[in-house]
């Protein structure tokens, strides 16, 4: 019996009686059957082939991988020779990742994980033999000291002054203290999880923002995402025309229309994602990330999958990946899954925000940094007081009925993209129109008192202190707070539509930190979306879902603010 299964069964034996015997047995079987084993059904099944090409059919995977290796190598070497003086960093990393994956597929099980586990467990044993006081001093002391030194020792530059970085550190402390004060049970908070998550976020910030290699990689991904919009224009031009539409003799460029310029890209993205689901790519990436995270942060397998999937597919798809487990989640796990969704944005929304001129690199880096932060904030606000069913066990992301082929998957993705576009159009139409309606009514009322007022202005007053705490320069506090207020009250589209019009007139630090603070689904409208989805997945948890949704939304908002603070410290 594997160690993972032994861990799962042992935890189940310790778990308080929450279900009857039949339900518990069913839950155990579900966990054990979902232990990470992401393999293609065709390659893992044992088949016997005879005939002229029997040897080939018995080793199809090997020959396919060998062909892939030859093709990739044949493309990579000429590229390096031709562009030997150019920047081939990203291409080299991509080639190395492909070769690594191909090699791992044919190594005996445990060849890679065995040495890693040996080193990891050896380090754990060394820590266990170290006096507890030294472990606590180092474990709890290194993260804050590293953050303070990063903020205080670096010289002033265009990205901020020492004072502004120290203010960002103060904002991090204040936001954590407020979350601790609002905790459901402060005595149950796992400080090990909290400090591990904060330190992970700090390390990600250093690797992504300060390390040139990490920044170049994310900048390359951001550039490809921007190019993705141009690919969608080919289908758009076929349907609507080449460059513009003519009305009364006046040419109107298609790029100026949100519906025509953004929504085709969202449909294309949904089709690509669905195709990646069909080929098991999304599940494999999420499962691999979750398997690593679960050994670093002490959370359950379901929480790992939801947290790792959210930056790629968004809160709805991330929730569906763990759908079979929702009914069995503890309240703390459910809160964590909800928070992970609220703390990030999906790929389709990311593409939509790019059309407004949002900083693609900042959006990407914020979504990655918010993964550990969402875990930290959720575990402070709603600490785990039970033993989760998937504690210490990596679970495989669930997937709905498999399509017949790739074309079927692309078709389903396109249909889903159209539905998503309709939802986006309806929500934008409603919230922006309602904003104008409320502003008009308030303007009429306060006109009698000689005061000009609007929702944006009220939001800027309320969030002015928060904008200062995350480290926004004093001269830009009002526009930054106003954009953040619109985002939290309405949605991210409405906020970025306004903020990107003025971002070039603001300090570069303001642009970066405000983008970080707004890169999430944490708003009132998203609460209704999440409640509807989770009630579909687990109608028996209706009371818990409704009770936890507002708290999770606020936790997601705090997560993005803390990500902005970390960015303000390391930028």
Full pLDDT tens readout for the chain, 571 residues:
344 434 333 333 444 444 344 444 544 455 454 444 444 444 444 445 555 666 667 778 888 889 989 999 998 888 888 876 666 777 888 888 888 888 888 888 777 777 877 887 888 788 888 888 888 888 788 888 888 888 888 888 878 888 999 999 999 999 999 999 999 988 888 888 888 888 888 988 888 888 888 888 888 877 777 777 677 777 767 766 665 555 566 665 555 566 676 677 778 888 888 888 888 777 777 777 787 788 788 788 888 888 888 877 777 677 777 777 878 888 888 899 889 888 888 777 787 788 778 888 888 888 888 888 899 999 999 998 888 877 777 676 666 667 778 888 888 888 888 887 787 777 777 777 887 888 888 888 888 887 788 877 887 788 899 999 999 999 899 889 988 988 888 778 888 888 888 888 889 899 999 999 998 888 877 787 777 777 777 788 888 888 888 899 999 999 999 999 999 999 8
The helix/strand/coil state of 34 is: coil
Alpha-carbon distance of 377 to 191, in angstroms, equals: 11
Q: Show the tokens assigned to 519.
A: 């890169």
Alpha-carbon distance of 151 to 190, in angstroms, equals: 26
Alpha-carbon distance of 453 to 444, in angstroms, equals: 9
Alpha-carbon distance of 518 to 389, in angstroms, equals: 34
| pLDDT attached to residue 24 | 47
Alpha-carbon distance of 343 to 554, in angstroms, equals: 9
Alpha-carbon distance of 263 to 265, in angstroms, equals: 5
Alpha-carbon distance of 235 to 460, in angstroms, equals: 41
Distance of CA 560 to CAs 49, 87, 406, 501, Å? 55, 33, 36, 22
Alpha-carbon distance of 571 to 557, in angstroms, equals: 21
Q: Which pTM value belongs to this model?
A: 0.78
**Selection from 567, 561, 557, 568 nearest residue 204 by Cα:** 567
Alpha-carbon distance of 359 to 342, in angstroms, equals: 20
Neighbours of 370 (CB within 10 A): 32
Distance of CA 290 to CAs 280, 293, 295, Å? 15, 5, 9
| pLDDT attached to residue 51 | 56
- Token pair 């103060």 is found at 170
Alpha-carbon distance of 513 to 475, in angstroms, equals: 14
| Long-range interactions of 159-162: CB distance < 8 A, separation 24+ | 159/508, 159/509, 159/512, 159/571, 160/471, 160/509, 160/568, 160/571
CA angle in degrees (0–180, nearest 5) for 402-235-238: 135
HSE value, Cβ hemisphere, 13 Å, CA-based, for 15 = 25
| 8 Å CB contact between 280 and 40 | yes
Q: Show the tokens assigned to 520.
A: 């999430």
Rg (alpha carbons) of the chain, rounded to whole number: 25
DSSP alpha helices (H): ranges in 83-131?
89-104, 113-129
Summary count for the chain: helices (H), strands (E)? 24, 2
| pLDDT attached to residue 261 | 66
- Token pair 């400090």 is found at 195
| 8 Å CB contact between 268 and 235 | yes
| 8 Å CB contact between 40 and 73 | no
| 8 Å CB contact between 248 and 122 | no
Alpha-carbon distance of 127 to 348, in angstroms, equals: 43
| 8 Å CB contact between 205 and 172 | no
The residues pairing with 252 across neighbouring beta strands, listed in sequence order, are: 245
Q: What are phi and psi of 50, to 5 degrees?
A: -130, 170
The DSSP code sequence of 135-178 is HHHHHHHHHHHHHHHHHHHSPPBTTB-HHHHHHHHHHHHHHHHH
HSE value, Cβ hemisphere, 13 Å, CA-based, for 441 = 6
The helix/strand/coil state of 251 is: strand
The helix/strand/coil state of 245 is: strand
| pLDDT attached to residue 176 | 93
| pLDDT attached to residue 37 | 46
Q: Show the tokens assigned to 155.
A: 């010289």
| pLDDT attached to residue 172 | 93
| 8 Å CB contact between 456 and 486 | yes
Alpha-carbon distance of 418 to 420, in angstroms, equals: 5
| 8 Å CB contact between 302 and 329 | yes
Alpha-carbon distance of 529 to 315, in angstroms, equals: 10
Length of the chain: 571
Distance of CA 236 to CAs 254, 408, 413, Å? 9, 21, 17
């Amino acid at each position: 019996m594997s160690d993972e299964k032994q861990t799962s069964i042992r935890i189940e034996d310790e778990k308080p009686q929450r279900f009857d015997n039949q339900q518990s047995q069913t839950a155990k079987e579900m966990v054990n059957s979902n232990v990470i084993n992401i393999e293609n059904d065709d390659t893992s099944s044992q088949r016997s082939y005879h005939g002229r090409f029997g040897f080939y059919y018995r080793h199809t995977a090997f020959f396919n991988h060998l062909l892939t290796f030859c093709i990739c190598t044949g493309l990579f070497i000429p590229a390096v020779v031709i562009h030997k003086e150019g920047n081939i960093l990203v291409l080299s990393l991509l080639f190395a990742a492909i070769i690594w994956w191909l090699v791992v597929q044919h190594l005996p099980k445990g060849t890679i994980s065995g040495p890693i586990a040996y080193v990891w467990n050896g380090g754990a044993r060394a820590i266990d033999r170290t006096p507890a006081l030294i472990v606590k001093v180092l474990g709890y002391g290194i993260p804050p000291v590293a953050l303070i030194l990063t903020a205080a020792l670096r010289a002033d530059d265009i990205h901020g002054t020492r004072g502004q970085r120290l203010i960002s550190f103060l904002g991090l402390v204040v936001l954590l203290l407020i979350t601790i004060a609002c905790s459901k049970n402060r005595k149950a908070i796992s400080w090990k999880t909290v400090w591990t998550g904060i330190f992970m976020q700090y390390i990600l910030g250093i690797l992504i923002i300060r390390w040139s290699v990490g920044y170049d990689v994310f900048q390359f991904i951001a550039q490809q995402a921007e190019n993705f919009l141009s690919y969608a224009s080919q289908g758009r031009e076929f349907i609507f025309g080449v460059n513009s539409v003519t009305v009364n003799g006046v040419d109107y460029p298609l790029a100026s229309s949100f519906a025509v310029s953004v929504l085709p890209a969202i449909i294309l993205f949904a089709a690509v994602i669905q195709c990646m689901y069909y080929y098991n790519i999304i599940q494999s990436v999420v499962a691999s990330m979750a398997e690593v995270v679960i050994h670093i942060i002490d959370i359950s397998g379901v929480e790992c999958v939801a947290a790792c999937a959210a930056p790629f597919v968004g809160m709805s798809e991330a929730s569906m990946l763990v759908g079979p487990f929702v009914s069995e989640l503890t309240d703390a796990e459910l809160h964590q899954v909800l928070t992970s969704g609220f703390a990030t944005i999906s790929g389709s929304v990311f593409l939509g925000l790019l059309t407004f001129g949002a900083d693609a690199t900042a959006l990407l880096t914020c979504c990655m940094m918010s993964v550990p932060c969402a875990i930290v904030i959720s575990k402070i606000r709603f600490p785990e007081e039970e033993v989760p069913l998937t504690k210490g066990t990596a679970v495989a992301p669930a997937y709905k009925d498999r399509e017949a082929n790739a074309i079927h998957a692309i078709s389903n993705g396109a249909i889903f993209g159209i539905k998503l576009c309709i939802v986006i159009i309806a929500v934008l139409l409603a919230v922006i129109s309602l904003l104008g309606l409320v502003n008009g009514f308030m303007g009429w009322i306060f006109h009698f008192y000689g005061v000009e007022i609007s929702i944006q202005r009220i939001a800027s007053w309320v969030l002015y202190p928060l904008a200062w705490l995350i480290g926004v320069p004093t001269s830009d506090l009002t526009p930054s707070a106003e954009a953040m207020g619109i985002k939290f009250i309405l949605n991210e589209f409405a906020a970025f539509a306004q903020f990107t019009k003025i971002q070039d007139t603001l300090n570069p630090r303001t642009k970066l930190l405000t983008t970080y603070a707004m890169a999430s689904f944490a708003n009132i409208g998203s609460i209704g979306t999440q409640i509807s989805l989770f009630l579909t997945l687990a109608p028996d948890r209706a009371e818990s879902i409704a009770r936890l949704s507002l708290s999770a939304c606020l936790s997601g908002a705090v997560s993005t603010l803390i990500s902005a603070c970390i960015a303000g410290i390391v930028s």
